[in-house]
Amino acid sequence: MSFEKKARQIRNGIKRYTTHSMVNLLLGRLHAKYDDGTIGMPWVVCLTLDWVLELEPNKGAIDATEQDVQKILDKMWRLQSDASKISTTENIWLTMRSFFLPQLRFQIDQIHHSFFLVRLYTLMCSDSASSSFKTNFKAQVGIDLQDFFVFSLFLCSLFMNQNTAYIPYKELIAKLHPAFSMETIKLMLKTVGVNALEMRELAQERRKKLGDVKPSEYFLEPMLLSNPLILLPSGISTAHTYVATIGISEFVIRTLKRADPGGFRDKFAKEFENYLALLFEETGFKAVRESQLNDFYKLHKKQGKVVDFLYQSNGTSIFVDAKGVEPRQDVLTTDNSGFLKDKLKSLHLKGIQQAGKCSEILESCNYENLAEYQNRYALIVTHQDFYLGGGVKLASYLGEDHKHKVESAIEGQIPLENVHFCSVADFEGILALCSDTGADLHEFLDYCADEENSPETAKFEMRQHIQSFGEHKMAERPSPIGSDRVVSNAKQLYADLEERMDISRKHWNEGLERAPEFLMKLNSLQVIAS
């Protein structure tokens, strides 16, 4: 039986039950913790919730029971083998990649979401950053960008540290008002949250855009990541604390990209490159920047592709290119190697081509200390992870028909096994770990290549290599994250938040005469759920 037919049967089964009973039971599943602290199949439960919200129940639908929901979830779980087409796939590695990624979203430590938020603040709110980030965000949502980052840090901290999926409105008022006006609090909640009716409308609108149910959408991120808070009559909740922390931490960049994709990307790319330069500087690795390489080109009357950074040490040359981009959903979920090749053409494939051509030009001009072929490396750093591994893994993803695109880009200049890809969060960890342990960058990259040579030690993501190398080096911090600047900015944001909470605390501690005001403010906040 085809995926489409099985999906249709499951969806018809869902329509037998009332929406509110299904939603309540599914949210109960997502909020429940098991004995080992895990949550059962959260990505499957989130997908089922999406389907429930977009479907209209049958006339005479009955309330679902726990057993009814379990049967539907079991069928949804089994559906993934049909969605991934594992039994018939021509590229098992690419198929397994789309299979693993939805699970990985709910397995990465949530501290990474907080660091993503503060890193984004570092890139957008530094003194040298373009003012367009603040201006455009205010124009889109009506909220000051600084205020939004502080408020977001507050929410992420609560969902992570209190280990809860529910925050009452009275807690928000007591801790944040009057430091934040009631209008600002309402606007922030309405910006990142939806009430029950709006949840259904979003799901049904999304289904209209997606069309008929297709195998590829089985692996899409949960719909509610775009509006991660659920506005209830007495407080805010979320489908899952991971949905909350991911959705909130990524809200700013998703909003600005959607509003002006081209304009935002150009400005963000500059800040991203500058941040990588800061990372080199903080960790004591001296790299040559693009402008210096261009000066060398001019001196030798050369023109051509160039990388953002060149790091040379101990007879090695590492070509580093910054790509301040995030993966599209279809790039993460595709099992089509041709499609993946096309989408990576202007990103990773361009990056390694730049590294190969830059190496070729420098070699033709006898660039000082340029390493021999076998000791040259390419490292492409993106804002978020594309989960491509290294050059060899990418070639396997692209398959026999397209892997030549990778090989030809660096032919004769950089060995394929010396090509690596990582996110900026991983790049922070790589530099910090090498700095802490006294290792050189090529040692880490060689370690990755050696591990990838064997199925027993191969890794799915760069962070696993970092952890393994850290343990190998017996590092005090085997998997560091963040940078000195990000940690400093986190302290500043927390200080700003604490100051605002202190103002609010003093206001409400003035005595019982504040009670009528508190109740009035509480009533005004509760109406956002209607």
Task: List average pLDDT for each run of 10 residues in the chain, which is 530 residues long.
Answer: 94 98 94 60 93 96 97 94 81 84 88 97 94 96 97 94 86 97 96 94 95 91 94 94 96 96 93 98 98 98 97 98 95 90 93 96 97 98 96 91 89 95 98 97 97 92 96 96 97 98 95 92 88
Separation CA 279–CA 309 (nearest Å): 12
Residue given tokens 């017996």 in the structure block: 474
Residue 43 CB partners (closer than 8 Å, separation 6+): 102, 103, 105, 106, 222
Residue 321 CB partners (closer than 8 Å, separation 6+): 307, 308, 309, 351, 352, 354, 355, 378, 379, 380, 381
Identify the pLDDT of residue 36.
Answer: 45
Identify the pLDDT of residue 38.
Answer: 42
Residue 523 CB partners (closer than 8 Å, separation 6+): none
The residues with which 17 forms a beta bridge, in sequence order, are: 62
Identify the pLDDT of residue 40.
Answer: 66
177 near 185, Cβ under 8 Å?
yes
The closest of 209, 213, 203 to 8, measured between CA atoms, is: 213
- Residue ranges and CATH numbers for the domains of the chain are 3-105 (no CATH), 111-259+523-527 (no CATH), 266-473 (3.40.91)
Determine whether 212 is exposed, middle or buried from the number of CB atoms within 10 Å of its CB (0-12, 13-18, 19+).
Answer: exposed
pTM of the model: 0.94
